[in-house]
Structure 1
Amino acid sequence: MKQVQLLAPVAGRVMALSEVKDPVFSQGMMGQGFGTEPDNGQIVAPISGKITMVAPTLHAIGITSDDGLEVLLHLGIDTVELKDNPPFDIKIKVGDVVQAGDLLGSMDLAAIQTAGKKTTVILAVTNSSDMVDTLTPQLGLVKAGAVAARVDLKAVSAPTTTAPASGKGGKYDELARQIIENIGGASNVNSVIHCITRVRFYLKDESIANDDVISNLQGVIDVAKAGGQYQVVIGPAVNDVYDAVVQQLGPGFGDDDASALAVEKEANKAAWQKMTPWEKTKHGFSALIGVITGSMIPVIGLLAASGILKGVLALLTSFKIVSATTTTYVIINAMGDSVFYFLPIFVGFTAGKKLGADPIIMGIIGGVLTYPTIVAIASTGKVTSHLLGMGINADFFGLPVHVASYTYSIFPMIAGAWLASKLEPWLKRVIPTVLRMIFVPLLEVIIISGAIILFLGPIITALSGALATGIVKIYELSPAISGLVIGGFYQVLVIFGLHWAIIPIVANDIATTGHSYLNAIVSATMVAQGGAVLAIAMKSKFANIKELAWPATISAFCGVTEPAMYGINLKYGRAFVTASIGGAVGGFLTGLMHVNMWGFAGSLIGFTSFVNPKGMDFSFWGFWIASIADIIVSFTLTYMFGFSDADVKNVKVAPEKKHLGEQAA
C-alpha cells in the first residue's frame, strides 16, 4: 500500500476534520482531510502537483498531485462572502506546477476576523472515495510545510468522475462537449452556474435535453430538474466540468457569483438534512441572528456615531443650551437622526447582499417605505376603522390597509430581502433576457414593497399591538413584575421591530400626564446593553473588537442600543442574554421603587428626564440606584460568563497595541 504525506498549508494547530466549524467539511461531504487554525497567513502547497482551480473569490485552491489526489484548500469559513474585497493574495494561477512547500500566497487574518469569519484553513481530498484508504492527521502545533497528515492510498484508484480526454485540451473537454450537445446545444442555454456537486443550466426548453444520454455519460452521476434548472450531477470534479462547459459555450454564459452562492446554499441544505429537530431549531435561530447582525454590521459605525451625536443634542437641550424650536436643533438633529430615519434603505442594501437579492433594488424598496407621503400616512393619516387591533388609515384599490411607520426599522427589510432572494431567480427564468433589465426591478419593487406594506407591516403592527396591550396589563397588575418582564425582554422586541407599539403608549403618557413610569423601565434596558458591551470593551484583547465596543458603549449610554446589540452583544449570543438579565434587574428595581420619568430621552444621557418639574423627588435617586445595579449585573455577568475572545470565531488576530496611536486598524 502506497503512502503519501500531506504538508501543513499554514503554521498553526492541526485539528481533526470533525472539529472544523463547517458541517460540509466536518461531516466528510467533501472527502477526508484536516483543518488548521493558522498562526500567520502564509500559505504553502501541501503536496506537489498542478494547480487545477483558483476560485474567483480566491478563497479556495485546487491541486491535483502526480498520484491522482485531488486536494482542495479552503481558506477560512464563509470567506466566499468577502468577494467584494478578498483578504487573499494568491501568487499562483490555474495550470502552474508547484512543489510541496512552495509559497502559494497569503491571507489577511485580521481582515477576515474583522469581517466576522473564521480563518480555519481546511484541506480535503475530494476524491477520497476513489483514492484514499486512510488519512491520519498529525494533531497539534506544526510549522507551515511540516508533515501534517499521512495518506494510505487504495491499491486500485481510478476516479469514477474522470471523463475521457478529447486530446484537444483538458480532460473534461469531451464530457463538456457531450453535455452541451445533448441539452440542445449552446443556442438552448440561457446561463449556467455550479454548486458543490452539480452543473446547473438554465435552458430555454428543457424538453429538448436528452436525459438518458446525459445521465449515462462517463463522468456524470445523474440528471435532476428543480427550481427551473437542468442539473447535471458531476461530483467532486464539478469545477473542472463547469470551466470546460463555460469555455465551450463562450463568454457571457457563466456566473461565478451565482455559483458561489449556489455552493453555499447546497452546503447549508446538505447540513440541514443531517440535523435533529432541536439542532434545526438552534441552527434556524442562529441563521436568523446571523442575517440580522450581518445586515447591520456595515452601518454599525454610523449608528454608534449618530447615537453619540443624539446624546450630545439631548444634553444641549436638557441644559437649555439649544432650544428644540431653533434651526440649530433641526440641523444637528438631522445629522444624528438621518441614518436611523432612512435605515430601511441601508438595511435593504446590506440585507440584499447578505441574502443574494439585488442590493440596489432592495435599497429602492427601502426608499419606498421611507417616502415622505408614506411616512405622512403612517404618522398623521386619519384612522377610519379598526381591524385586529390595527388602525385602518389607507386603502389600496379599495382594500382597507394599515400603513405602518418603517423609519428606524430593520426587520421588514430583512424579510423583504429574503422574499426577493426567492422571487428574483424565478423572475429571471420566466422573463426573456431582452426584457429583464426593466421588468425584473419593476416587478420586484411592486411585489416586495406591496408585500411589506400590505401584509408584513400589518402583521408586525398586530403583534406589536397585542404585546403592548399585554405589557400595559402586566404593569397595571404590578410595577415590579412588569419591570422584570419588560426589562428582560424589551430589547428582544427591538430586534424584530415589535417595540414600536410601546412608543405611542409612552408618548401618550407624557402628553396627557407629563410623565411615564413605563419609559423609565425601557430606559433601564438601554443601560443594561451598555453595561454588557462595556465589559466586552474592557475584557477583549482584540483591537478590532475594542474599536467597535467602546463607541457602542457610549452610544448605548446615550440611549441608542443598536450598535451594542447588532455589532457586539447579539452577535456573540451569550452577551445579549447577560445584558437582558441586567435589564431585568434594572427594570425590576425601577418598578419596585416606582421610578417616574418626565422626559422622553432615556439611558444615562437622559438623567435629567428623571427630575420632577415640581421639585426633585426619589425618582431621580431611584433612577441612579437602578442604573448602577443594572450596570453592575450586566457588566459582571458578561465579563464572567457572557463573552470570551474565543467567541470571536476562534480566530487569533493581532492584540491591541500598548501605545496610543498604534492600535490596529
Structure 2
Amino acid sequence: MPTPTSAELSAAILPLVGGPANVTSVAHCMTRLRLGLADPGKVDGDALRALPGVLGVVEDDTYQIVLGPGAVARATADFEALLRKETQKARNATPLKTALRRVANVFVPLIPALIGCGVLAGLNGLLLNLGLLPGLTSALAAIATAFMSLIAVFVGHNTAKEFGGTPVLGGAVAAIVVYPGVAKVTAFGVTLAPGQGGVLGALAAALLGTYVEKWCRRWVPPTLDVLLTPTLTVLISGLTTLYVLMYAAGAVSSAIGTAANWLLETTGAFAGLVLGGLFLPLVMLGLHQALIPIHATLIDQQGHTVLLPLLAMAGAGQVGASVAVYVRLRHDSGLRTTIRSALPAGLLGVGEPLIYGVSLPLGRPFLTACAGGAAGGAFVGLFAMLGEQVGATAIGPSGWALFPLLAGDGGLGVAAAIYGGGLVTGYVVGFGATYLFGLRGVTGAAREPSV
C-alpha cells in the first residue's frame, strides 16, 4: 500500500479520534501528533495503529500519534487546517466572521494578563498621586508594565498557533519588534525604534513566519526539516519584519492613534453616539471582534483605549431596555425570569444573555437599547471634546467591571465620574425609549396599557 500524503493521513486520523467536536487541542513534538480530546473513549485505537504512516499510539495526558520527524510537522499543519475547515462547516460561519474570529483568538487569551496588569497600573497610579508607599510603587510599576513591554511576543506566539505554525517560531519572529537592538538597524536612511509597529507589527510578522514555515514544510526534505525550516522561517520573516513590516505597521499604528484622538477631540459627541449606538448590532453579527486589534494597538501605544468606554455604553442601553421590559411585561413570568438571571451579567458588561434572551427576540427593544447606548456614548464623547478623554487600560471588562481599569486626562476620579454619568445616561434613555416606544406590537405587551 502506498504511503499516504500528510493531507490524506490527517483526513484518515480525524474521524478515528472522534471527529472535530472531540478535539480540544493540537500540538506536535519532534515525532508525535499530540491531541487533547474531550472524550478519549471515542478513539478507535486499533484502526489508528493500522493506518499507513502511523508508527504507534501513546495514551497519556494527551493522545499521542507517532508519525516520525518531518512527517509530523506536515501532518499537524494539515490536521489543523482540516479541523478548522470542519469546525467552520459545523458553525456555518461566513469567511469574514471566520477571519475576525481567528484574529480575535490571537488576542482574547491575552485579556486576563491585560486586566491584571491594568488594575495594578491603576492602583500604582493612585498610590503615586497620594504619595503613599513610594517603595512599593516601583515594584508595582515593574509588575504592571513588564507584560505590556513584551506583549508583541505573546501576540506572535498566539498568531502562529492560531494560523497553523509553530508557536515558538511566531514568538521568536515577533520578538524582533520589541528587541532594543533594532535601534541599531538603519534601512533607507531611517533608524528603527524598538516597539515600532506594536502588536500589529507582531501580528504581521508572525503571520508571515507561519506562511514561510508552511512553505518550508512543503519543499524542505524531511531529513533536513528540523534544521532548515526554523532557520529559514526566522531568517526570511525576520529580515522582512525589519525592513518592511515594522515601517508599515508603525505607520498604521500611528494612524490609528491619531485618528482616534482626532475623532474624539473634534466630533466626540457624534462619534460616541454612532459607536455606542452601533455596537450591539456589531456584537450580534460577531463583527465587534474586528475592534480587538485596534484596542490592543491603542493600549500598546497610549496606555489605554479611548474607544472602549464609548462602546461600553451599548451595554448600559441594553440594561435599561431590559429593565423596561421587566416592568412593562409583568405578567410574562418566563421572560421576567430570564431578565432576572441575565441582568447581573449585563451590569458587569456581559450583554449576550440579554441580547439573545430578551431584546433581540422582541425586536423593537433591541433598537431602543441601541438608542440608550447612543445616548451614553454621546455623553462620554462630549467630555472628550471638552478635553476630558476617558480610556480603559485593558479590554474585556465592561459595565461596572470597567471602573478599576479607567484612565483619563483628569485622573481616575474624573474618568470614573464621566464614565458613570455615561452609564446612567444609557440606563435612563434605554429604559425610557423602551418603555414608551419599544413594546408596541410586541407579543405580551398587549396585556399592558398602550402608551
State whether TM-score is above 0.5: yes
Q: 1:604 aligns with which of 388, 391, 403?
A: 403
1:425–1:309 Cα change, 3 Å: same
Whether 1:421 aligns to 2:210 is yes
Deviations for 1:56-98, whole angstroms, at most 9, x for unmatched residues? 7xx7438xxxxxxxxxx536166464855322232875449xx
2:183 is equivalent to residue 372 of structure 1: no
> 1:441 corresponds to which letter in structure 2?
P
Contact 2:317 2:373 in 1 (8 A): no
User: What are the equivalent positions in structure 2 for 1:285-304 lying under 5 Å apart?
Assistant: 285-304=96-115
- Alignment match, 2:95: 284
Deviation at 1:361, TM superposition (A): 1.5
Give the C-alpha shift of residue 245 in structure 1: 5.2
Higher strand fraction (1 or 2): 1
Give yes or no for the alignment of 1:524 onto 2:309: yes
Name 1:481's counterpart in structure 2.
270
Kindly state the Cα deviation for residue 500 of structure 1 after the two structures are TM-superposed. 4.9
Q: Structure 1 residues 468, 600: CA separation in 2 closer, same or farther (over 3 Å shift)?
A: closer
2:36 matched to 1:76?
Answer: no
Aligned equivalent of 1:458: 247
Q: Assess, with a 3 A threshold, how the Cα gap between structure 1 residues 415 and 360 changes in structure 2: closer, same or farther.
A: same
| Partner residue in 2 for 1:496 | 293
Identical positions, percent: 18
Give, in angstroms, the shift of residue 348 of structure 1. Answer: 1.9
Specify the SS of the correspondent of 2:186.
strand
Q: CA deviation at 1:589?
A: 1.3
In the TM superposition, residue 357 of structure 1 has moved relative to its aligned partner by 1.0
Rounded to whole Å, the distance in 2 between the matches of 1:633 and 1:370 is 45
- Partner letter of residue 588 of structure 1? A
1:346 aligned residue (145, 154, 169): 154
Cα deviation code 1:304-333 (max 9, x no counterpart): 3223322332333344324xxx45222112
Q: Is this contact kept in 2: 1:357–1:424, CA < 8 A?
A: yes
- Aligned to 1:244, what secondary structure does the other structure show? coil
Question: Equivalent residues in 2 for 1:447-596 (5 A)?
Answer: 447-467=236-256, 470=259, 474=263, 478-484=267-273, 495-497=292-294, 500=297, 522=307, 524-525=309-310, 527-528=312-313, 585-592=375-382, 594-596=385-387
Partner of 1:130: none
Q: Which residue of 2 aligns with 1:210?
A: none
- SS of match in other structure, 2:245: helix
Counterparts of 1:36-115 in structure 2, within 5 Å, are 60-61=15-16, 74=19, 76=21, 79=24, 81=26, 83-90=34-41, 93-95=44-46
Q: CA deviation at 1:431?
A: 4.0
Deviations 1:479-519 (A, max 9, x none): 42244456679987852348757997x79xxxxxxxxxxx9
Aligned equivalent of 1:625: 421
Higher relative contact order, structure no. (Cα contacts within 8 Å, ≥ 6 residues apart): 2
Higher Cα Rg, which structure: 1
Q: Which is helix-richer, 1 or 2?
A: 2
Query: Deviations for 1:549-590, whole angstroms, at most 9, x for unmatched residues?
Result: 89x95xx9xxxxxxx89xx9xxxxx99x99998775434213
Task: Give the distance between the partners of 2:297 and 2:43, measured in 1 at CA.
Answer: 54
Instruction: Work out whether residues 520 and 596 of structure 1, in 8 Å CA contact, stay in contact via their aligned partners in 2.
Output: no
Q: Judge conservation of contact 1:427–1:440 (CA < 8 Å) in 2.
A: yes
Moved more, 339-348 or 526-535: 526-535
Ranges in structure 2 where 5+ consecutive residues have no aligned partner: 1-9, 28-33, 57-65, 280-287, 321-337, 354-358, 361-365, 394-401, 434-451
Quote the offset at 1:349 in angstroms.
2.0
What are the ranges of 5 or more consecutive residues in structure 1 without an aligned counterpart?
1-52, 63-72, 97-238, 382-393, 508-518, 557-563, 569-573, 638-665
Tell me what 2:232 maps to: 443
With structure 2 as the length reference, what TM-score do the two structures score? 0.58
After TM superposition, the score normalised by the length of structure 1 is 0.42
Distance between the aligned counterparts of 2:161 and 2:98, measured in 1? Answer: 15
Pick the aligned partner of 1:307 from 118, 122, 126: 118
Q: Indicate if the aligned counterparts of 1:366 and 1:413 stay in contact, CA closer than 8 A.
A: yes
Please list the CA deviations of residues 352-391 of structure 1 after superposition, one character each: whole Å capped at 9, or x if unmatched.
22222111112222322222344xx4xxx9xxxxxxxxxx
User: In the TM superposition, what is the alpha-carbon distance from 1:446 to its structure 2 partner?
Assistant: 2.4
User: What's the offset of the Cα at 1:458?
Assistant: 2.7
Aligned residues: 363
Q: d(CA) in 2 for partners of 1:75 and 1:597?
A: 50
- RMSD across aligned positions (CA): 5.7
